Amino acid sequence: MNGKSVYSKFAVLAMAVGVCVLTLNSTGCQTGAAPAVSSQESPNVAKPPATGGQDANLPSQFLIAPKDTIAAFHGEQWPFSNVEPAIYGALGLFYGKTEQRNEAGALVNSEMEYSVHNVLTGHAFALFYGNPDDSLSMVMYGFTPRRLDMTGLSNDDIITEIKQQICLGNVVHINEGEGPFDYIVWGYKNNGITLLGYQFSHGNDMQNCGYDFDNYSVYHSLAKDICSDAFREKGGSITFIRPDSQQQRTLEAIYRRALAEGYRMLTNTEPLSPRQPGNVEGYGQSLYAEWIRQIEQADAENREEFYDTSPIMPHFIALFENRLHIWRFLTHYNKQANDAHLQKAIELSEQLKNMAFENFFVTIDFPHNPMQGASHHDKRVFLVDALKKYSALELEIAEQIKLYLDSKAAAKDN
């Protein structure tokens, strides 16, 4: 698996025992509070200039201001390993599109917004999902994303485009592709040579929820890196987020579309197409079939390796995280829907995520492992049985989701 899909051993062990880990490893980056500077040195925070698309008309430095006051993160700092949902929640906060506020009236960076985007992107219904869909997250906030076509563009063209978009008030999302990091950039200095923003890291929970828009990071070489051939070769992309789209739809319609896609994913029986041969990743019943097949094959070969090997670690803890988001989302949604089928799905998803978390401790080599003294064979038999239970539970959850969606469709027809 690539770096975007897998937790490090140290990070997972730390999560299991409740220890928070933060590792920053960025490209020429200075992090922490921005140094106090004079108004002459500080990037402009103002209305965007009329650029006309010409670099000469762009200021040498510019910083987009958040649209509202944003409080510090509120909630559990784990799990937050999926980068795309974290970024979409951050964008919603930055542009003042979220609704939860604290007693002081500031917007709250909450775990619920993150769980909602895990459902909207498909992460919640999958495992190590390599093809998240941002369309529902963008529509929910009324955003219009535009990916930069870098074909034929010079380095200066790319930097000019980034500067122009920032001056127009559009945050830039930089995806490293096969690299471990994503960035959102809302400012620049030194004529675009230096970019200002925040780095998100796949599998680094605290980093993915700990952003502070008033204390941006300074990236001295990121602009150079994204103009390189290596960036393009590893599938890197640059996307501009325009916040003023008129396509925003009601949450009811968006949530129902997400659940319909979730039903499709949970019941999928099509063969998996992993990004790398042998990876256990994807969604649906075919995911569990391949997962079980690989564990049974390891057992048939009487392999000595168990801990820290695919598909044992970190697969079970990743499954817990994603199914946790189904439970959170359904609980949140059913406060308004008040539907018996959704309530049953909530109960089933709670059972599933609790089982996955409990079984995860069998997959790590530490004193609290309930099967520490058991043979690898016995542990594999136990985990295969657990996977069969998860698979059955997911079909039950999917059925309850379908019953809910069918009832809404029937009511609309009448």
Among the residue ranges 146-160, 198-212, 270-284, the one predicted with the least confidence is 270-284
Confidence band for 57, pLDDT divided at 50, 70 and 90: confident
123 pLDDT more than 50: yes
Pairing assessment for the beta strands 237-242 and 62-63 based on DSSP bridges: unpaired
**Mean per-residue pLDDT for 80-88?**
91
Predicted local distance difference test score (pLDDT) of residue 15: 45
Residue 17 has a pLDDT of: 41
Identify the band that residue 156 occupies on the pLDDT scale cut at 50, 70 and 90: very high
∠408-411-412 over CA atoms, to 5°?
85
**What percent of the chain is modeled with pLDDT above 90?**
65
Please give the Cα distance from 400 to 242 (Å, whole number): 37
**Distance spanning both ends of the chain, measured CA to CA:** 49
Looking at residues 126-134, what average pLDDT do you find? Answer: 81
Instruction: Kindly tell me if the per-residue pLDDT of 14 is higher than 80.
Output: no
Average pLDDT (107-129) is 92
Residue 279 pLDDT grade (very low, low, confident, very high; cuts 50, 70, 90): confident
Q: What is the pLDDT of residue 414?
A: 61
Check residue 2 and give its pLDDT: 38
pLDDT per residue over 370-404, tens digit each?
Answer: 999 999 999 999 999 999 999 999 999 999 999 99
Res. 346: pLDDT tops 90: yes
What confidence tier does 410 reach under pLDDT thresholds 50, 70, 90?
confident
Q: What average pLDDT score do residues 210-219 get?
A: 90
CA distance 39 to 404: 56
What's residue 13's pLDDT? Answer: 40
Least-confidence region, from 76-85, 301-310, 371-380:
76-85
Question: What is the pLDDT, as a whole number, of residue 218?
Answer: 96
Position with higher pLDDT, 185 vs 50:
185
The token pair that represents 313 in the structure block: 């670690």
pLDDT band at 23 (very low <50, low <70, confident <90, very high): very low
146 pLDDT band (50/70/90 cuts)?
A: very high
pLDDT at site 55: 65
For all residues of the chain together, what is the average pLDDT? 85
CATH ID of 9-242, from 3.30.70, 3.10.50, 3.30.160, 3.90.70: 3.90.70
Residue, of 263 and 103, whose pLDDT is higher? 263
Amino acid identity for residue 239 in this structure: T
Kindly indicate the confidence band of residue 286, based on its pLDDT and cuts at 50, 70 and 90: very high
Q: What gap in Å lies between CA 100 and CA 90, rounded to an integer?
A: 13
Q: Report pLDDT digits (tens) over 356-372.
A: 999 999 999 998 899 99
Between 280 and 273, the more confident residue is 280
Q: Where are the domains of the chain?
A: 9-242, 251-413
Q: Which of 167, 217, 186, 160 is CA-nearest to residue 95?
A: 186
Alpha-carbon separation of residue 266 from 128, 149, 190, 390, 394 (angstroms): 14, 34, 49, 11, 6
In this predicted structure, what is the pLDDT of residue 364? 93
Q: What is the pLDDT of residue 371?
A: 95
What is the percentage of the chain residues whose pLDDT exceeds 70? Answer: 84
